[in-house]
Every structure is written in C-alpha cells, then in structure tokens.
C-alpha cells in the first residue's frame, strides 16, 4: 500500500489498469491498494467525472459505478461531466413512392 493519499493521476491509472474503456468499476475496487478511505477515492472519482475523464451511474440505494468512456461513445459531456445529449448526424429519410399496382418503388 502507498502511504500518501492518491492523486487524481493515481486514481486514473488504477481505473485504467482494472479494465479497458467501458469497464464498470466500483469505489472499493479502485481503493484497493491505496492507504486511504474509500471516501477519498470516491472524491477523486467524482473529480474525474467533473473533468469529463470518467462517467458514473448510481446503481442501487448507496452504490455507484464508474467507467472510462469507450472511443466510440459519442455523447457530449459538459464542463461538469454531465451528459448534454447525443451527437447525432442527420440522415435522409427514405422516400417511397407507390406504383399504380400498389408496389413500393
């Protein structure tokens, strides 16, 4: 165990080591190996969400998971790490015509 409270960079590295982008991790998983409280790790993870490095979701009454977004994740994240919507491209709507016999063309 390390003796000092981990930096944000230490916590980021630990999340990276646990799994590839998109892998959900819990606060106790990230806290493993650090000599600090899980609350300290929770605060570091929250800071990473605010910076847009991680995403989070509440699961259950008192639990939360954290993950690094996958490269294909196109959701837009605001300055505080909150989703602001999806980055969608507009596609053309297929146009159908119907022949006199009732078939689509």
Whether CATH 3.20.20.60 fits 8-71: no
pLDDT in tens, the chain (105 residues): 545 789 999 999 999 999 999 999 999 999 999 999 999 999 999 999 999 999 999 999 999 999 999 875 545 444 444 444 433 333 344 444 455 666 555
How much is the pLDDT for 101?
A: 62
56 in Cβ contact with 49 (< 8 Å)? yes
């Amino acid at each position: 165990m390390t003796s000092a409270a981990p930096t944000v960079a230490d916590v980021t590295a630990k999340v990276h080591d646990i799994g590839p982008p998109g892998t959900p991790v819990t606060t106790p998983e990230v806290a493993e190996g650090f000599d600090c409280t899980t609350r300290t790790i929770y605060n570091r993870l929250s800071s990473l969400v605010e910076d847009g490095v991680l995403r989070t979701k509440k699961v259950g009454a008192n639990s939360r998971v954290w993950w690094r977004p996958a490269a294909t994740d196109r959701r837009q994240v605001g300055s505080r790490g909150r989703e602001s919507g999806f980055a969608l491209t507009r596609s053309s709507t297929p146009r159908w015509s119907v022949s006199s016999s009732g078939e689509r063309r």
